[in-house]
Amino acid sequence: MNALFRPLLTQSFRSTGGYLLLIALTLAISATTALKFSNEQVQQAVALQAAEMLAGDLVLSDNEPIDQSWKDLASRQQLRQSEVTMFGTMAHTADQFVMVNVKAIDPGFPLRGELRVRPAAKAIQPGEIWLSQRAMDLLHLKIGDAVQIADGTFKVAAKIAHDSNQELGFSGFSPTVIISRQDVAKTNAVQTGSRIEYRLLLAGDAKQTQQFEQRFKQIRPVKKEGEGDQQNAANAENQSADEHSSLHLRNASEGNTRLMKPIANLDTFLQLANILTILLCGIAIALTSQRYVQQNQDCIALMRCMGASKQQILWAYLSLLAVVFGLAVILGSAAGIALGYGLLQLMLQLIPQLNIAFSALDLLLGPLPIAMLTSAAVLLGFVMPSLWQLLHTPPIRVIRQQEKSVQSMLWMLLAGTASLVLFSAVLTENLILTAWVIGAIMVLCTVLYAFIWAVLKFIRNLKIGISAYVRTPYQTAFQITALALGLSLITVLAVLRTDLLERWQQQLPAGTPNQFVYGLPPMDMPAFQQQLQAHGWKGTPLYPNIRGRLVAKNDQPFADELVKNNNSLRRELNLTQASEFPADNKTVSGAAKFGHANEVSVEAKTAEELGIKIGDRLTFSLPEGLLQAKVVNLRSVEWESFSPNFFFIFSPKSMDENAGSYLGSFYVPEAEKPQLIQLIQQFSSTVFIDVTLILDEVKRVVSLLVQIITILAILVALSGILVLVACLNLLMDERKREVALLRSFGSSKHRLKRMLSLEIGFMGLIAGVVSCLFAEVISAIASYHMELAIQPHWEIWLILPVLMTLLCALIGRYRLSYLTEIPPLQSLREMNQ
């Protein structure tokens, strides 16, 4: 074998085939390593950003003090802990009375994020109180003044400058004040029947928090009747906690519903970037493998003539591939670590809010082995069929040129694609997205390859002037398809980035309501609307808000199992009636508008969960009695928007609007915030919720996501450019022999340059059109998984074909024109070495 290995090694690297294969493998290892590592770090960093708004990674909440057993469990999991008590009560001075939201904290608060006050203080002391700006304005207080919180007197020690822990529900209404947990008893505000929430904040690494969540779900399953006596010993330690149905565990995403969709979209985008990177690297390996086969056919045939067996040649080539792969592992590992570190440093420079720590050990033990296995599988998948073809190269190949077998190319594509699908699923951990994307690409490639091949073959058989530019239809069709695929994969991320940005901008447009009004008495509504109009503050309509329960469908109560598993049936709902639906609601099915009284529109997902269909008759329990309404349509609701939304909306005159209160939202410019104080004082019985800080946090995280996907799109685009270079190198090899032969028969340099320009330009045109189709299909699949609107992108259809035609024509004229300068005899000798 050694006698064969050395000449093969020399031949492989002399003909540049070994170098290009080494580069492709190095690219595959380094790119997948860097992307996998950076994606994991970015996901953790963004999760921390979301956790800041919750002040911890997990929050265990209850309307009773948190049982000690949960604290003990968190301690065994080595989680950091902080306790918070929240309740509403009256704050007052000698002249002013204001309803406030009291947050009683311990010295460890917050576990995530930052709490800044002015003047600066590390921890709040007993007897002190920190107030938000609105609380200070309403109570006319300054630092050092005294204020009464229920029965307790406190000294104003600081103003809250920034609290990343912002509630996204009505429980977090402002104005907010912060006191020490030691002073809760001092206020005497917590009495029987008081609305109070006890929270246990937890923080730790991802593994610790996941273990706590799993343990919580094991200990607190949804119990059926009769299961209490069968509780096993493992659950007994927390039996007391099971008695409270209000005990609830939230993670960062559940605590910040408006961030769930952007973060989920980022996760899908990262997974798609991984899939596209693997595909691009696979294409590069496939093209270099094809080139490698072409350059070694003569060498194998010569060895066969000299008596070498297939087994000897097979082991020699496997040894050669092992050497190449070993070198690629060394170079790719070094490049992957450097690229991963550089990418994170670039992100930190551009996005300083990210909390990222580089760990070479995490990279070596995590993404690198996966990248190595992925690259090895892709290499074998694409090379082994080609190697099998080499082993069956007849000795007559030395003296007679033979075309490659189409069957061998198909086997190479099938084997390589199978390895890509397998390891894409492993790398992304998303089998469904991987199957959809790669499945669609396979179908498109097969159909378009067959179509392009048929068209080129038809042109060749016409025997007209343009037929001279089509010599090997199946090879040209393969090159066009590969070129289009590489270009489309670059385009997909750019298209999706634009779609995501538009979606997030629509979610938070300029003038998004930053003030919620809740509990507005019906008698005050006309005066309140007049005040908004007088100030020029635009907002949503004011909706009547009546509390009620859904109790039956078609006169039949809901099944007990459905009631236990659906929160909409276990609690009172905010019901409303309106002649028009909120602007961001869209009718999924049914009538677009109401026709009569006692009709109801239902949110589509709730209808699906409860088995509600159009035409069903629903029964609700209201303060004034039972109400029956017919379902006339189903709606989709943008819960992430900062506007009032409802599960059930009734037609006008279905309910008594005076039985409840009104709610709505409106926008107040920052400069006009002081005028809002007068409005709050005028309507003192109404709850005003300032969500400005929440909006700022959401906008900050969304801006962060936009910058992240931009950097990743650029990185994947660089990998795609290398694929395009591999395609062009393959074209150069094939044209080298053809140009040499045509020069030998007397063709002029000018004619050859024009031929190369037209041929490569024509290939670029077709590749540009095909890439647009590829990009539209793949982006549509990704948009579906991200729940984005599927829309055509006409701009790429105008840009890509023209750009690729001009680029390829220029390459054909100038990049390949050097071939016309090489003496024909030298070209023929080099091609047959």
DSSP string, 111-168: SSS-EEEES--SSPPTTEEEE-HHHHHHHT--TT-EEEETTEEEEEEEEEEEES----
Distance CA(355)–CA(44), nearest Å, equals 8
Query: What average pLDDT does the segment 535-557 reach?
Result: 89
Query: What average pLDDT does the segment 271-278 reach?
Result: 73
pLDDT reading at 409 higher than 60: no
pLDDT reading at 527 higher than 70: yes
Query: What average pLDDT does the segment 38-61 reach?
Result: 74
Element spanning 574, H or E:
strand 573-577
Q: Can you tell me whether residue 407 is helix, strand or coil?
A: helix
Greater pLDDT, 198 or 336: 198
Contacts of 211 (CB under 8 A, 6+ apart): 77
* pLDDT band per the 50, 70, 90 thresholds, residue 297: low
Distance CA(643)–CA(665), nearest Å, equals 6
Q: Which of 95-104, 350-359, 710-719, 804-813 has the lowest average pLDDT?
A: 350-359
pLDDT reading at 244 higher than 50: no
pLDDT at residue number 83: 92
pLDDT at residue number 210: 85
Highest averaged pLDDT of the listed ranges 362-366, 569-573, 597-601: 597-601
pLDDT reading at 309 higher than 90: no
pLDDT at residue number 415: 61
pLDDT reading at 130 higher than 90: yes
Tokens of residue 458, six digits: 């038809």
pLDDT reading at 435 higher than 70: yes
DSSP readout, 294-359? HHHHHHHHHHHHTT--HHHHHHHHHHHHHHHHHHHHHHHHHHHHHHHHHHHHHHHHH-TT------
Q: Is 210 exposed, middle or buried (0-12, 13-18, 19+ CB in 10 A)?
A: middle
* pLDDT band per the 50, 70, 90 thresholds, residue 225: very low
pLDDT reading at 651 higher than 80: yes
* pLDDT band per the 50, 70, 90 thresholds, residue 593: confident
pLDDT tens-place string over residues 200-210: 999 888 788 88
pLDDT at residue number 393: 60
pLDDT reading at 156 higher than 90: yes
Q: What percent of the chain has pLDDT over 70?
A: 68
Distance CA(514)–CA(15), nearest Å, equals 67
Tokens of residue 698, six digits: 């959401």
Instruction: State pTM to two decimals.
Output: 0.60
Q: Is 312 exposed, middle or buried (0-12, 13-18, 19+ CB in 10 A)?
A: middle
pLDDT reading at 367 higher than 80: no
pLDDT at residue number 630: 93
Question: Using an 8 Å Cβ cutoff, are 282 and 420 in contact?
Answer: yes
Contacts of 164 (CB under 8 A, 6+ apart): 52, 53, 55, 110, 112, 113, 114, 115, 697
Q: Which of 44-48, 186-190, 373-377 has the lowest average pLDDT?
A: 44-48
Q: At what angle do helices 473-507 and 692-744 cross, to 10 degrees?
A: 170
Averaged confidence pLDDT in the chain: 76
pLDDT reading at 89 higher than 80: yes
Contacts of 124 (CB under 8 A, 6+ apart): 105, 130, 157, 178, 179, 180
Residue located via tokens 């602007």: 583
Beta bridge partners of 450: none
* pLDDT band per the 50, 70, 90 thresholds, residue 181: very high
pLDDT reading at 226 higher than 60: no
pLDDT at residue number 468: 62
* pLDDT band per the 50, 70, 90 thresholds, residue 82: very high
Q: At what angle do helices 431-462 and 257-305 cross, to 10 degrees?
A: 50
pLDDT reading at 331 higher than 80: yes
pLDDT at residue number 311: 76
**β-strands 625-636, 586-590 pairing:** antiparallel
Task: Give phi and psi for 763, each to the nearest 5.
Answer: -65, -40
- Conformation bin of residue 349: beta by default, left when phi > 0, alpha when psi is -120 to 50: alpha
Beta bridge partners of 744: none
Q: Can you tell me whether residue 745 is helix, strand or coil?
A: coil
pLDDT at residue number 242: 38
pLDDT at residue number 313: 73
Query: What average pLDDT does the segment 775-781 reach?
Result: 82
Beta bridge partners of 155: 128, 146
pLDDT at residue number 833: 47
Greater pLDDT, 400 or 464: 464
pLDDT at residue number 162: 80
**Cis before residue 582, ω within 30 degrees of 0?**
no
pLDDT reading at 281 higher than 90: no
pLDDT at residue number 571: 79
Q: Which of 45-49, 219-223, 290-294, 779-783 has the lowest average pLDDT?
A: 219-223
**H-state helical runs in 671-748:** 673-682, 692-744
Greater pLDDT, 536 or 448: 536
Rg, C-alpha atoms of the chain: 34
* pLDDT band per the 50, 70, 90 thresholds, residue 701: low
pLDDT reading at 326 higher than 50: yes
Query: What average pLDDT does the segment 431-453 reach?
Result: 79
* pLDDT band per the 50, 70, 90 thresholds, residue 356: low
Task: Give the residue among 481, 19, 27, 444 at the shortest CA–CA distance from 277.
Answer: 27
**β-strands 146-149, 80-92 pairing:** antiparallel
* pLDDT band per the 50, 70, 90 thresholds, residue 618: very high
